[in-house]
């Protein structure tokens, strides 16, 4: 397995996949374990569900089916439910052409064939051999109903030296198509959060020295990510279950945990959909106005970034970002007002408001339909059980623990 095989497998999938209809669910859990508390407590849990339809001709269409959130701040303060939070980007999109299969629990990214010095080093990009050593691991044979067999083979990825930018990984590929089928991976070392934050280009995103002094050290660890895919139509491996666990170790023996769980159930793959409800003309007009502003935004960002290369002081850098943010706020203010007015009008007339989003770095346009009744969303039939139950694992997998255990032997060489 090399980068050429991997990219060719991705290209074959992207070329042959025409459409899918899926139910997508995501659960986000924020927990904390205080010194001498004895066990971890869940502070925030957020769950969303929606129907996601993607087709090569029409793009992404999301119908939000449910959204609920509960907060339990600290012991003795009780729990409160939030039904008025309606982020219409919460429902994840299972797959789109060019999507990076090595998910990390956040927004989707795109496959790249080059090493990015600012981010993790992908184990299958050109030049990754300088950072990793590779081993062929186990294999699994799967018999299909038509008598054919699929061979899955494990590629074990071992970092040459410990770093938060390199992964220890167990990757399983379909030998016929080079598609990633299942995976478990984690960073080989914690990341110093304050050190990374100090290098942010925008001064507003850099931590103050007071915060860094009071909350140091602050180290984050990607403990484990597992990705499991399902085979559809005999040729498409699409993500079915994805779980990531991230820990942050703070002073005074405090630990914060973040878990993101995603599950996708496909009603059809490469099937035909019923005629979708067209977007209201007012929504289309607002989208066209927003697109025109994005066109104006790009030269502003290019100019700002080019000037950053020549500045010599933090004060000049801050001035550039402040000027850009002032222009951005002023330019987007009329569009935000029009969007809010349009939402009020749509909710009064149809009970559903419609957004035309560009997600995943403005590269994936999506039509999003959200019911205005937030109470009904929080009590949707798609949800089962109590949100803040003691069972922190939403969707179990018998294979997940064995996948994670395979990482224990993949320690860095240095």
**Residue 322: per-residue pLDDT:** 86
Q: Is 403 exposed, middle or buried (0-12, 13-18, 19+ CB in 10 A)?
A: buried
Decide: 30 and 71 in contact? Cβ < 8 Å.
no
**Residue 391: per-residue pLDDT:** 56
pTM above 0.75, yes or no: yes
Q: Is 273 exposed, middle or buried (0-12, 13-18, 19+ CB in 10 A)?
A: middle
**Residue 227: per-residue pLDDT:** 93
Q: Are strands 236-250 and 219-232 parallel, antiparallel or unpaired?
A: antiparallel
**Residue 77: per-residue pLDDT:** 46
Q: Which residues contact 379 (CB under 8 A, 6 or more apart)?
A: 68
Domain extent listing, the chain: 3-276+381-405
**Residue 185: per-residue pLDDT:** 93
pLDDT in tens, the chain (414 residues): 555 566 666 677 778 889 999 999 999 999 888 766 667 788 899 999 999 999 988 889 999 999 999 887 555 444 555 544 556 678 999 988 888 888 876 555 777 767 766 678 888 888 888 999 999 989 888 888 777 889 999 999 999 999 888 999 999 999 888 889 999 999 988 888 877 777 777 777 777 766 666 667 788 888 899 999 999 988 889 999 999 999 988 777 788 899 999 999 999 999 877 766 778 888 888 888 888 887 778 788 888 878 777 776 767 788 888 888 888 889 889 999 999 999 999 999 999 999 888 887 777 888 899 999 989 998 999 988 888 765 555 565 566 777 787 787 777 766
d(CA 359, CA 93): 9
CA angle 223, 227, 233 (to 5 degrees): 180
d(CA 245, CA 187): 11
Decide: 52 and 60 in contact? Cβ < 8 Å.
yes
**Residue 240: per-residue pLDDT:** 93
**Residue 412: per-residue pLDDT:** 78
Q: What are phi and psi of 291, to 5 degrees?
A: -60, -40
């Amino acid at each position: 397995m090399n980068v050429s095989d991997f990219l060719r497998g991705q290209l074959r999938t992207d070329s042959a996949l025409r459409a899918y209809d899926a139910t997508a669910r995501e659960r986000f859990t924020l927990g904390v374990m205080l010194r001498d508390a004895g066990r971890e407590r869940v502070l925030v849990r957020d769950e969303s569900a929606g129907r996601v339809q993607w087709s090569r001709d029409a793009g992404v269409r999301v119908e939000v089916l449910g959204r609920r959130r509960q907060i339990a701040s600290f012991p003795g303060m009780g729990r409160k439910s939030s039904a008025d939070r309606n982020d219409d980007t919460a429902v994840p999109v299972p797959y789109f052409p060019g999507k990076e299969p090595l998910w990390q629990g956040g927004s989707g990214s795109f496959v790249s064939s080059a090493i990015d010095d600012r981010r993790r080093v992908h184990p299958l990009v050109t030049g990754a051999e300088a950072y990793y050593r590779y081993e062929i691991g186990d294999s699994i044979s799967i018999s299909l109903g038509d008598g054919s067999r699929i061979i899955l083979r494990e590629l074990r990825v071992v970092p040459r030296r410990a770093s938060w930018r390199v992964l220890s990984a167990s990757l399983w590929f379909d030998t016929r198509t080079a598609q990633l089928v299942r995976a478990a991976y984690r960073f080989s070392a914690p990341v110093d959060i304050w050190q990374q934050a100090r290098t942010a280009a925008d001064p507003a995103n850099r931590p103050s020295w007071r915060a860094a002094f009071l909350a140091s050290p602050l180290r984050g660890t990607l403990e484990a990510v597992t990705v499991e895919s399902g085979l559809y139509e005999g040729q498409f491996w699409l993500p079915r279950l994805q779980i990531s666990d991230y820990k942050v170790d703070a002073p005074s023996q405090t630990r914060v945990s973040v878990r993101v769980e995603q599950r996708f159930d496909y009603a059809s793959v490469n099937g035909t959909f019923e005629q979708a409800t067209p977007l209201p003309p007012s929504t289309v007009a607002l989208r066209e106005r927003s697109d025109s502003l994005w066109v104006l935004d790009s030269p502003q960002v290019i100019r700002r970034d080019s000037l950053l290369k020549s500045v010599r002081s933090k004060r000049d850098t801050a001035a550039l970002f402040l000027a850009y943010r002032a222009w951005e706020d002023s330019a987007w203010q009329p569009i935000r007002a029009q969007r809010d007015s349009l939402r009020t009008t749509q909710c009064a007339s149809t009970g559903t408001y419609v957004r035309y989003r560009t997600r995943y770095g403005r590269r994936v346009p999506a039509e999003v339909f959200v019911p205005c009744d937030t109470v009904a969303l929080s009590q949707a039939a798609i949800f089962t059980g109590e949100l803040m139950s003691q069972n922190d694992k939403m969707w179990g997998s018998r294979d997940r623990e064995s996948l994670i255990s395979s990482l224990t032997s993949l320690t860095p060489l240095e």
